């Protein structure tokens, strides 16, 4: 089994958690179970590692030569190498933290211990106005956005930044990958003369069927871009994914979302955009680095 087949299979399997979660929301009466339990989490993470390694292998072994015939001796070649490594490292860093970092679980209340806050009857944790109980994790999460089937973890106060940053950098990475592979696909696989003429000699012979890698790349580009656009909309409307789903069960949901955006709730001091993203870095350039963020207490 060659590398391109492995990548296509891995990308296909990675869509299953998203598909199953969508079916659960559309058809709740079917009682479809999530597959993001402990036994599957490391399997999914391994698939992500395989996809990253496969893309980087194809980049250095084949596609870098499509855009730069002498990549290691030209400025253009080094720029391409830098961008490929940068998007790979930064997106994988944020994905790893989104998967394994504590999302901001509410403090556990010990038996017979008096607290000034209400206590969740399901998990025995402090329950303030910004916490929500996750049925999958069986714990209350501060500023919970949703339980992600792709990261097999809740997305909340202390890992929402990693989750959205992963989506952003992964989408940029897929955009870059599309740029690197699209011409070769159109010239070698489709056989369009104009695209083939733009390729260096013997490119099609060297690539073989690897040129079809643009298909899973575009699939990921669309999927990740859709999730990223949805998260951006939620941030500007100052709602979580759970809030969004609740609003759409009510009357006039779009009018309510438009009102939240028009009144600029996202600019308020304790808005989701400021707490979950903007306030996590002191300077803009720090957002460009793969570096852990400052953690906030649950009762922020």
Check whether 264 has a pLDDT greater than 60.
Answer: yes
Rounded to 5 degrees, what are φ and ψ at 29?
-70, -15
pLDDT on residue 39: 58
**Nearest C-alpha neighbor of 136 from the set 67, 38, 213:** 38
Q: Which residue has the tokens 């060659």?
A: 2
More confident residue, 27 or 69: 69
pTM for the whole thing?
0.87
The tens digit of pLDDT for each residue in 197-220 reads 877 777 787 787 888 888 889 988
Percentage of the residues of the chain whose pLDDT score is greater than 70: 85
Q: Which residue has the tokens 């809030």?
A: 243
What is the pLDDT confidence band of residue 242, given thresholds at 50, 70 and 90?
A: confident
Check whether 234 has a pLDDT greater than 80.
Answer: yes
């Amino acid at each position: 089994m060659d590398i391109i087949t492995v990548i296509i299979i891995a990308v296909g399997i990675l869509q299953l958690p998203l598909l199953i979660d969508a079916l659960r929301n559309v058809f709740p009466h079917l009682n479809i179970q999530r597959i993001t339990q402990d036994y599957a989490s490391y399997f999914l993470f391994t698939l992500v590692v395989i996809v990253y390694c496969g893309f980087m292998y194809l980049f250095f072994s084949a596609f870098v030569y499509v855009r730069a015939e002498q990549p290691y001796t030209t400025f253009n070649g080094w720029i391409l190498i830098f961008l490929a490594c940068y998007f790979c490292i930064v997106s994988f860093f944020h994905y790893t933290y989104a998967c394994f970092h504590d999302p901001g679980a509410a403090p556990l209340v010990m038996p017979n211990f008096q607290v000034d806050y209400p206590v969740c009857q399901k998990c025995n944790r402090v329950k303030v106005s910004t916490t929500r109980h996750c049925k999958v994790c069986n714990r209350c999460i501060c500023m919970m956005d949703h339980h992600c089937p792709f990261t097999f973890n809740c997305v909340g106060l202390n890992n929402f930044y990693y989750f959205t940053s992963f989506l952003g950098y992964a989408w940029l990475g897929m955009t870059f990958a599309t740029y690197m592979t699209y011409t070769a696909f159109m010239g070698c696989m489709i056989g369009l003369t104009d695209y083939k003429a733009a390729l260096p000699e013997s490119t099609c012979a060297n690539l073989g069927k690897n040129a079809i890698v643009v298909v899973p790349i575009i699939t990921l580009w669309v999927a990740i871009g859709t999730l990223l656009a949805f998260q951006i909309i939620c941030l500007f409307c100052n709602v979580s994914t759970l809030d969004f789903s609740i609003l759409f069960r009510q009357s006039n949901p779009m009018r309510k979302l438009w009102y939240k955006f028009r009144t600029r709730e996202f600019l308020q001091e304790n808005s989701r955009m400021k707490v979950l993203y903007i306030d996590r870095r002191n300077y803009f350039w720090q957002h460009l680095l793969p570096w852990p963020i400052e953690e906030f207490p649950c009762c922020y």
